Amino acid sequence: MIRSFFYFFWQLLFLPHVLLFLLSKERSTLVLDLYARKTIKTGVLAHCYDLSYLLATNRYFRTLFYFRTRGLFSNILRVFYPKHSLFTIDVHTAIGGGLQLAHPYATILNAKKIGSNVYVNHLVTLGEKNGEKPTIGNNVALHAGAIVVGGVTVGDNAVVGAGAVVVKDVPENTIAVGNPARILERKL
């Protein structure tokens, strides 16, 4: 009971974020991010409640929220409600909706494009090499410690295994494992 009261009070402090959400052009994308691992609820009130709860309890999601709502008001809010310092998203990265963040501690997302419904675990690095950035398809899973660098493409429905170092294209519906990554057939 006391814990619920504390969370409710903490959520009230995130009302400016809710206002930013309601006025944002990225509102529909934020809803996809908000419910990336759950069934999407209907109704603006439910979205606002769930958003304020997640912003209050998850600094990784707060980082994604600030990325989606870039601007002066967002930058002011970041001063009082900081994002996670060990989760970085490059400002030039295009990210589709439904990004699933599974504890992205020490994760860097610096890609040309990241598709929809992508799963990102901790210690993932999407990085630039010789001025080229990777392109990640839709429904891709990037597991712990995965590294994807350079102008490579990871196809739709691909899985990049834990600790894999990807320096060549990964076809869709395959699994990349190892260092350097080798491609395995994915049974669907």
φ, ψ for residue 176, nearest 5 deg = -110, 125
Q: Are 163 and 181 in contact (CB under 8 A)?
A: no
How far apart are the C-alpha atoms of 19 and 153, rounded to whole Å?
A: 37
Q: Is the peptide bond before 134 cis (omega within 30 degrees of 0)?
A: no
Catalytic pick from 17, 47, 84, 103? 103
Q: What is the DSSP letter of 40?
A: P
Task: Verify whether residue 103 is a known catalytic residue.
Answer: yes
Please list the active-site residues. 103
